[in-house]
Amino acid sequence: MVDQRNTDHMVSPNKQNIKMIHINKTAGTSVLEWLLHLVDTGNKSNLTGKGEANSSHRIIEDFDNKHFYFTIVRNPYDRLASHYFHWESQGKHRNQRWWRDDVKDLDDFVQKAYEYPPKLFIKEKYLHKHQPEFIQSCTEWIRDFDKVKIFKTEELDELLEFFRQHFKGKKADANLGVSKKTKTKGLKSYKDLYNEKSKSIIKRVFDDDFKNFGYEK
């Protein structure tokens, strides 16, 4: 597990130097909107890495000593389920026939997405060939653990408290408004949604995430 108890070597955050590595499906959008309000900037690109202006989801390749870098990670079981439910709703909303024809359920999605090589529908029909990082592990996004402060979706109160210590005032006191409820009523853990084959795939593909961030397999 990555030990970040000592982060004194990191640059302290201020309104001009924050850079967020925005890993998808980690409550990052809510955090990003909160930070935009906090630091008085209306441009997401000011707070995220290099990339296309219409997307905040980009892997930062080069780190410097001027910026405060941080990210949010999430339990792999929860993150993949969130992927699926989001893509399912988008597929239905847009009446995308390929989604209805190619993806039967959550297990089918996992098994097709993480086959070697992945099924073409994942890359060509949904990811449009330019966002393969969407199905990568959180570990692959971070690249340099010594330069990046890591928070967890499951512990967002720690993120809020961290930034509130550096930014005082009413804006910092605002809440995120992130729901902590699971998608399926009565479900204790997203892990319970998967069959054994899917669990085995997730354990293998996201092994580094389980190890680095202390999640239980």
What pLDDT score does 117 carry?
56
- Tens-digit pLDDT profile for residues 106-134: 998 888 878 755 554 555 555 444 455 67
What DSSP assignment string belongs to 70-128? EEEE--HHHHHHHHHHHHHHHHHHTT-HHHHHH--SHHHHHHHHTSSSPPHIIIIIIST
Distance of CA 121 to the CA centre of its chain: 22
Q: Where are the domains of the chain?
A: 18-74+138-173, 76-135+182-213
φ, ψ at 125 (rounded to 5°): -95, -35
What pLDDT score does 216 carry?
95
pLDDT at 150 over 90: yes
What CA–CA distance (Å, rounded) separates 148 from 50?
A: 16
The model's pTM is: 0.84
